[in-house]
Amino acid sequence: MKSSIWIIDFGSQYTQLITRKFRELGFTSELMTVEDGLSRLKLEKPEAIVLSGGPQSVFEDKTDYSPFFKDEKLPILGICYGMQIMGQYFGGKVEKGVQGEYGLAKLKCANNFLIPNCPSESDVWMSHSDHVSVIPDKFKLILQSENGLTAGIKHDSRPILGLQFHPEVHHTVHGKDILSFFLNNIAALKSDWSSKTMMESCLEEVNKIKGSKVLCAFSGGVDSLVAATLVQKVIGKDLYCFFVNNGLLRPQDLNTIKMLQEKTSLNIEVIDATEIFLGALKDDKDPEHKRKTIGKTFIEVFENKVHEFEKNHGVKFDYLLQGTLYPDVIESISPHKVGGKSVTIKSHHNVGGLPERMKLKLLEPLRYLFKDEVRAMGLSLGLERDWVFRHPFPGPGIGVRVLGQLSRDSIRKVQESDQILFEELKSHQLYDSTWQAFTVLLPVKTVGVKGDGRAYEEVIALRMVNSQDGMTASVTELPWSFLNRVSSRICNEVKGITRVVYDITSKPPGTIEWE
Ligand code: XMP
């Protein structure tokens, strides 16, 4: 997103969150690499820059960052590594860190300086051990950590703020107030983002392609539903939604599609490709391999269907509509790097490669929005609350919730147990108390008693987590009476299951899905 607030990414895993917190405060910002920042600075004048945190140490980095500090009027926020470069440039001293300044730390105000809305003491998140040990001339100490380390500095006359901790992460209790202090008080910027500007910028994107035929790989999830509703508002019947049933869906997914066909004016066609997917997955055991097979099969099924449709209806599609959101865009600008390479924990991008293969242009009207903004837009487009607050569901679906080899029977066990969990969450009014909830079939057999006999059957794990964006997660604490009810229904009603366990692993170290 073009913006005059630049976020220079030094590689911290939290950089995206700065953009997000700024947005919540009503400001757009543009994330860019250090190289882009340095070269664009020769031609453009940003209104403010943020130098992010990063994993490296100033003792090993010989890059000349002085261009960032030359313009005396440019507001600068240095976070962690950004503050250390700043400290060094202005003549202060950076020292190798001490253990114990990672994670949660107490922050105290210094020299009687108070940040608006922040108490004199609060919790913050530190994740770098180097720190500014001698404050440069013309800077004043405004924040200190509990054990006396420099945590915040402010220039006497220039609009510059340096923070040793991460104000953008959730754990920094007053982080948003501190960022607001930078944007509103130090940089004195004017807010440029609201739900009105958000809708206008999305519609502007769609208006440009009026008259074109648009194809949508519709999943029924929040993103594709909001994207399709927005586009349909502008181009009406020129939008065609195809929904692929890969045989790895839960009952609630198919029910949602039926309901959307009835209750909205979207033109949704269902393609039942269960047999093709199950055939393709027949010998797959490995999680990443299953993901690849599912992604590849999806592309083949979708492509065949579209060619057949174009031939039969004399239509030629110009655009492929995708519900891509801003975190995906940012991730592709700035992959979190370890040892110079981005690490793949799981390959999430299920249908990558589709537009190139089908020679379609991409339409991504939500690509500057965060999930909560997409939900808000869905509501203002008239969609029902239940539709836009559905839990996330991964593209490979039950394919990664049956551990190892899939079979029709194992898929059935997950479908039936998931439906029970879903019904109980809804009837106990707990659906909104958890961010994502699902069942997983474990490939182990355990002994149990059913009726008067011995049973030797499989295990279902319940997974319910709270999260903001899926990047970190904690286990949802639910009442025992509810868990008991779900467990007893699953053991009684799902043939082949004798035991139910509750996964109590947070992310990290676990991931949300088991595969
Ligand atoms: P993990 O398991 O990585 O999940 O902690 C984080 C979030 O991503 C979802 N997820 C996926 N979504 N394709 C998707 O579209 C995938 O292959 C995939 N794997 C995980 C997961 O459900 C959670 O919301």
**Ligand 1 lining (C-beta closer than 6 Å):** 291, 346, 348, 350, 392, 394-396, 436, 470, 507, 511-513
- Check 30, 168, 364, 513 and give the catalytic one: 168
CATH of 195-388, one of 3.40.50.1000, 3.40.640.10, 3.40.50.620, 3.40.225.10: 3.40.50.620
Q: Quote the longest CA-to-CA distance of the chain.
A: 83
Residue 10 identity (one-letter amino acid)? F
Separation CA 509–CA 422 (nearest Å): 26
CB 420 within 8 A of CB 490: yes
Establish whether domains 195-388 and 401-502 are of one fold.
no
- The catalytic position among 80, 118, 216, 491 is 80
pLDDT in tens, the chain (515 residues): 789 999 999 998 889 889 999 999 999 999 999 999 999 999 999 999 999 999 889 999 999 999 999 999 999 999 999 999 999 999 999 998 765 466 788 999 999 999 999 999 999 988 777 999 999 999 999 999 988 899 999 999 999 999 999 999 888 999 999 999 999 999 999 999 998 999 999 999 999 999 999 999 999 999 999 999 999 999 999 999 999 999 999 999 999 999 999 999 999 999 999 999 999 999 999 999 999 999 999 999 999 999 999 999 999 999 999 998 988 777 665 544 434 444 555 666 656 677 788 889 999 999 989 898 999 999 999 999 999 999 999 999 999 999 999 999 999 999 999 999 999 999 999 999 999 999 999 999 999 998 889 999 999 999 999 998 787 889 999 999 999 999 999 999 999 999 999 999 998 899 999 99
Q: What is the DSSP string of 366-399?
A: TTT--HHHHHHHHHHTT--HHHHTPPP--TTGGG
Strands annotated E in 40-191: 48-51, 76-79, 93-95, 102-109, 121-127, 131-134, 139-145, 150-155, 160-163
Fold of 401-502: GMP Synthetase; Chain A, domain 3 (3.30.300)
What are the boundaries of each domain within the chain? 5-186, 195-388, 401-502
| 317 C-alpha to ligand 1 centroid (Å) | 30
Letter string b/e over residues 292-323, b meaning 16 or more CB atoms within 10 A of that residue's CB: ebbbebbbebbeeebeebeeeeeeebebbbbb
In the CATH hierarchy, which top-level class contains the domain 5-186? alpha beta
Q: Kindly give the distance from the C-alpha atom of residue 513 to the centroid of ligand 1, in angstroms, as a whole number.
A: 6
Q: Ligand 1 centroid vs 334 CA: distance in angstroms?
A: 19
For tokens 């054990």, name the residue: 147
